[in-house]
Structure 1
């Protein structure tokens, strides 16, 4: 049954995603508000497909933040990347520069207001990232980052990437850690997904201005709470 439900999800969700992506190019010409509205619609479509076709629902613990802050989330599947779009109200997501450089698609993501990060780009790349982050803060948008850098399977707790500490120090924003256990139901690299409840736990904000070892240790422990 799980395999059949996963097949239906792939057929319907990705079948609907193709025209959504194609239409995003002309919609983005209408302005930032239009493309953000469209992205939210796509995220809601994903949530509906996950609930009805896969039987995957979300349990939210804590309170999703509003306004400018850093939201540091565990990353185990595609599921939380789209759920955070809905829960955080137009977050500026930090993503790999390669994704933002894809022809046309990359232009749309930049129009939405993502923050591309080039891990090998040196000081110039860091300045570009900071300008994008400051623009998001000026709009009152939260900045979403996956500080471990990539999707990991349940139980894996890699160290945080250095870019997180750099953003934290430079932006002087509080950090809201998010623990996620989506990998139990939505394993990375596997087609079959299982029905169940994904917990997304928003922890208490951590104040700005802490030394790098302390903020990294506290965020690392917090985002891995559901992995214990």
Structure 2
């Protein structure tokens, strides 16, 4: 790619980032009266913003987005691969009543933090692992009368394509506590939307909802099935996008 082409793509990527964050305020304000009355308003606002991001990515960056598999509609735990902010957008936009286990620090983000709380997201302190899991389960129990899809990232953070990171047992604790099926989600989005930096690349970013895992499996077996399903399918999606899997490293 020439320097001119690279510079033009970088500028469009920067404009894209500015526009998607700028759009949060008018969308939040437009839906605020409804959101104050009902969680439905906050969910609708978030879905509208997710749809806007997907449209703008296609129009401005030639970055297509695709949802594969069947997004769950009932009460389930969703355990997903996390490569960048884009998988958050695609997963949430695909399910009717999603909520995330999120970093406590995000609560203090202007607009985003308050909308997230109104949507039913569960903030936890990642710096204290044992206390975080306990707090997570208490918050989940307290909100179980509000049905939906609880979304968690078993690796605990964004993991760049080609990098291996462990799956944490907090996911198994939630799975056991909830007694619900778990839907794994694979993705290749980090190939096009990296976890750091401005540049966004053209192509087709995909998330895929995989067959659900039934409730009440032993924790070790559950974690083994989650990791095998998510990693195997994510590798296949990244290979489909042209990512050199031979470079995968720990």
TM band (smaller chain) = 0.7 to 0.9
**Per-residue deviation at 1:57?**
1.6
Give SS of 1:70's match.
Answer: strand
Return 5+ residue gaps in structure 1 as ranges. Answer: none
Select between 39-48 and 3-12 the one with higher mean Cα deviation.
Answer: 3-12
Alignment map for 1:208-219 (pairs within 5 Å): 208-219=215-226
Q: TM-score, normalised by structure 1?
A: 0.88
Find out whether 1:112 has 2:126 as its counterpart. Answer: no
Contact 2:31 2:41 in 1 (8 A): no
Do the aligned partners of residues 52 and 102 (structure 1) sit closer, same or farther apart at CA in structure 2, a change above 3 Å counting?
closer
Pick aligned residue for 1:31 from 3, 15, 38: 38
Return the alpha-carbon distance in structure 1 between the equivalents of residues 175 and 24 of structure 2: 34
| Counterpart in the other structure of 1:227 | 235
In structure 2, runs of 5+ residues without a counterpart are 1-7, 237-250
Paired residues for 1:141-152 under 5 Å: 141-152=148-159
Q: Which has the higher contact order (CA 8 A, sep 6+)?
A: 1
C-alpha spacing 1:125/1:101, structure 2 compared with 1 (3 Å): farther
Q: Give the match for residue 243 of structure 2.
A: none
Residue correspondence of structure 1 range 100-139 to structure 2 within 5 A? 100-102=107-109, 106-120=113-127, 126-134=133-141, 136-139=143-146
TM-score for both structures, normalised by structure 2: 0.81
Indicate the larger mover: 157-166 or 70-79: 157-166
TM-superposed deviation, 1:17: 2.8
**1:100 touches 1:107 (CA, 8 Å); kept in 2?**
yes
**Matched residue of 2:201: which SS?**
coil
Report the CA distance between 1:162 and its aligned residue. Answer: 2.5
Which of 65, 72, 77 is residue 65 of structure 1 equivalent to?
72
Indicate conservation of the 8 Å contact 2:67/2:90, yes or no.
no
- Distance in 2 (CA, whole Å) between partners of 1:120 and 1:110 is 20
Q: Residues 198 and 102 (structure 1 numbering): CA distance in 2 closer, same or farther, change over 3 Å?
A: closer
- Residues 100-141 of structure 1 show CA distances to partners (whole Å, capped at 9, x for unaligned) of 255775343222210122345577654543243245543330
Match of 2:83 among 58, 76, 95: 76
Q: 1:206 pairs with 213, 227, 237, which one? A: 213
When the two chains are superposed, the root-mean-square deviation of aligned CA atoms in Å is: 2.5
| In structure 1, distance between residues paired with 2:111 and 2:9 | 35
**Residue in 2 that maps onto 1:156:** 163
Match of 1:40 in 2: 47
Of residues 170-179 and 118-127 in structure 1, the stretch that sits farther from structure 2 once superposed is 118-127
